[in-house]
Amino acid sequence: MLKMTHLSKVYRTEVVETYALRDFNINVNEGEFVAVTGPSGSGKTTFLTIAGLLETFTGGQYHLDGVEVSNLNDNERSRIRNEKIGFIFQAFNLIPDLNVFDNVEVPLRYRGMKAAERKERIMNALERVGLASRAKHYPAELSGGQQQRVAIARALAGSPRLLLADEPTGNLDTQMARGVMELLEEIHREGATIVMVTHDPELAARAQRNVHIIDGQVVDLAEDPRFHHAVTSARANTTA
Amino acid sequence: MMFAYYFQLGLRSLRKNPLLTALMVMAIGCGVAASMTTYSVFRATSNNPIPGKSSQLYVPLIDNWGPEDAAQNKGEPPDAMSYTDAMALMRDHRARRQTALYPVAPSVIPADASMLPVRESSYAVYADAFPMFDVPFLYGGGWQASDDAAHAPVVVIGRALNDKLFRGVNSVGREINLDGRNYRITGVMDTWDPQPLFFDPVNTSGFGDPVQLFIPFTRAIDLKMATNGNNNCNKHSGEGWDAWIRSDCVWIEYWAELPSVAEANAFRQYLHGYAAEQQRSGRFTWAPNVRLYDVPQWLEHEKVVPQEAKVSLLVSLGFLLICLVNTVGLLLAKFMRRAPEIGVRRALGASRKEIYAQFLIEAGTVGLVGGVVGLLLTGVGVFGVTLVFDPDIARLATLNGSLIALTLLVAVLATVLAAFYPTWRAAQVQPAWQLKSN
């Protein structure tokens, strides 16, 4: 589904080159739930934005659903984002001027879908996240957990092949975070491929697989003993 | 489909920042209103009064005063003709149609004794003038060339005069009393108000009331009707009517209809030949100096478009430009405040093209509202034109359908133009940075 090979991302200024990702390799299969972990500044979010075609990369190869994306133009990248990828952000990123219904509608509008089909998909997605009754509410009228559920509904409405989540529970309290996580797990059980960036070992433990990044490179989780221990403990608790 | 969506978003965005929106709308509204108000005057004064024939109707000019006088007018001959030259040209009859004309001021004495005599804008012309100038008729028509030859007491009156004297009924064949003499009406003109008044800008400055009365030139001369317009002489004309019409005083406008370029060239040669003949005969002691102007050239020559109309249009366009520069800044502020939204939209599948479309349509929406405000202000401006311009000109500046459409179009286009840079900046927003920073 998602394959990056020897990928690098360099930010250049006149005096310095900074590697956000270096010789980065990852392969996510269809239907997998992968947690990408690592300390702050390790390159997790850069990986996610490149994976979501929101940012270009400097070297290497990236195949998304079998398509090498490095030579695609803006229109083609936008179309793939719209049709194949769903985003869930830490800060929800709902458009404050639009109500819940209109927020969920945004990606469907860019797909040129007819009104009736849009409405059906939106209501299905909102029912799925338990917010159908809040369709006419504005984001400011919802709790953080509800806003994140709207963001998930927005991501789901377009039936994407790949769901990219960047610290999806980072701005939520424990109870809300648990609800959102359960929702993601449910979506995964229904067959979606999910790549979730997190620095929370408990969330990472609930994914099928962990990919750990340090200094822009994928490393063995054992190289970060503290995090490794935290994930292992969390996983043991979950199993128990 | 996306247009409707973006238009809807544009309207929503207008409501979001009422103060910013009000500033932009007022900037556009004021700029457009100033431009459209002055444009309404400019358009009226620079209008082509006879579009179908403006390149077929010509004014010939003959220098019968000599180079000393011409030198004071950039070498141009006098802008009217002497009776001698006008009659010579009429006799030679070298154009398809031709007429000499001059303004007269007979008193119209109503048959109804209770009504006072009236004076209307009147001209003495030849029969050819009616078909030449495409004069529309409500009843009847112009008189015939035979009436010119017979110096017949015939007349063509205007619709307003017919309404006044005959309550609007068909008065063809009835008589009208001018200065105590009866004239037979051959035709009643429909409303005819060419602006500028191309056939006589010399005596009207190009603008004036619609003509209500035409009488035969030959008859007017018989009755020794003096011109009601300018009479310019370069030396004393002598005493009495006969001396005056034999003099080189210029007071007659002459028009020739020359439908083809070949005919115009032939007429130009004829004019030159006529002046050369006058030189040979000793009447002119200078080389031929003649001109042949078509309608647009003639109106330009007579400076019919007032200088203040040109200057005020330029100043107001400059003002519009300043308003648009302000709008660029306001739009930039408005659009860049929405960088997070742009980032989200890009992430959800909007291409740069879609961002361009959304924000340009949003700008167009601002422009449309600005246009509506501009329209109201233009209405006020057009009303206020009377304070600045001559009443004859001011009455032409009207807020008609085409000006309304133009005002809205200019407002929308100008705002969309002003939005290009802010929109370009919006489209450059890096979604990754916006989403990370959130």
* A contact test, residue of B348, B361, B428, B438 with most A CBs within 10 A: B348
**Quick check: A236 pLDDT over 80?**
no
B351 touches chain A (CB under 8 A): yes
Q: Which two tokens stand for residue A80?
A: 């793939």
| 3-class DSSP assignment, residue B97 | strand
- Name the minimum distance, in Å, from the CA of B35 to any CA of chain A: 35
Q: Please, which pLDDT band fits residue A1 given cuts at 50, 70 and 90?
A: confident
Q: Residue type at B236?
A: H
CB count, 10 Å around CB of B243?
12
Q: How far apart are CA B375 and CA A35, in angstroms?
A: 60
Do B438 and A87 count as a contact with CB atoms less than 8 A apart? no
* B contact test, residue of A44, A48, A54, A57 with most B CBs within 10 A: A54
C-alpha A4: how far from chain center? 16
Nearest Cα neighbor of B366 from B422, B425, B415 is B415
Residue of A nearest to B13 (CA): A97
**Quick check: A5 pLDDT over 80?**
yes
pLDDT tens for chain B, 438 residues long, are 789 999 999 888 888 888 889 999 999 999 999 999 888 888 888 888 898 899 999 999 999 999 999 898 899 999 999 999 999 999 999 999 999 999 999 999 988 888 889 899 999 999 999 999 999 999 999 999 999 999 999 999 999 999 999 999 999 999 999 999 999 999 999 999 898 889 999 888 777 889 999 999 999 999 999 999 999 999 888 889 999 999 999 999 999 999 999 999 999 999 999 999 999 999 999 999 999 999 999 999 998 887 778 888 899 999 999 999 999 999 999 889 888 899 999 999 999 999 999 999 999 999 999 999 999 998 888 888 777 777 777 777 778 888 899 999 999 999 999 999 999 998 888 887 766 654
B3 touches chain A (CB under 8 A): no
pLDDT value at position B195?
84
Q: How do residues B43-99 score in pLDDT, each as one tens digit? A: 888 888 898 899 999 999 999 999 999 898 899 999 999 999 999 999 999 999 999
pLDDT value at position B209?
85
End-to-end CA distance of chain A: 32
pLDDT value at position B17?
82
Contact A60, A8 (CB under 8 A): yes
Residue bearing the bigger pLDDT, B208 or A124: A124
- Supply the pTM of this predicted model: 0.74
HSE-CB at B253 with a 13 A cutoff on CA atoms is 28
Q: How far apart are CA A91 and CA A168, in angstroms?
A: 8
pLDDT value at position B244?
94
pLDDT value at position B113?
81
- Name the minimum distance, in Å, from the CA of A163 to any CA of chain B: 12
On the 0-12 / 13-18 / 19+ scale of CB atoms within 10 A, B75 is: exposed
Q: How far apart are CA B247 and CA B289, in angstroms?
A: 19
pLDDT over 70 percentage in chain A: 98
B2 touches chain A (CB under 8 A): yes
Do A79 and B349 count as a contact with CB atoms less than 8 A apart? yes
φ, ψ for residue B306 (rounded to 5)?
A: -65, 145
Residue bearing the bigger pLDDT, A100 or A112: A100
pLDDT value at position B437?
53
Residue B69 falls in which region: left (phi positive, over 0), alpha (psi -120 to 50) or beta: alpha
Contact B276, B62 (CB under 8 A): no
Residues of chain A numbered 33-92 and touching chain B (CB < 8 Å): 45, 49, 52, 54-55, 74-75, 78-79, 81-83, 87, 89-91
A199 touches chain B (CB under 8 A): no
A105 touches chain B (CB under 8 A): no
Quick one: average pLDDT of A109-127? 94
Highest mean pLDDT among A156-160, A182-186, B57-61: B57-61
pLDDT value at position B400?
84
Strands A59-64 and A193-197: what pairing? unpaired
Residue of B nearest to A113 (CA): B1
What H or E segment, with its residue span, contains residue B104? strand B97-104
Q: How far apart are CA B69 and CA B95, in angstroms?
A: 28
| 3-class DSSP assignment, residue B101 | strand
pLDDT value at position A238?
65
A118 touches chain B (CB under 8 A): no
**Quick check: A143 pLDDT over 60?**
yes
Residues of chain B with Cβ-Cβ distance to A75 below 8 Å are 351, 353
B19 touches chain A (CB under 8 A): no
Q: How far apart are CA B165 and CA B154, in angstroms?
A: 16
Do B343 and A93 count as a contact with CB atoms less than 8 A apart? yes
Nearest Cα neighbor of B183 from B210, B213, B149, B138 is B213
Q: Which two tokens stand for residue B434?
A: 């916006």
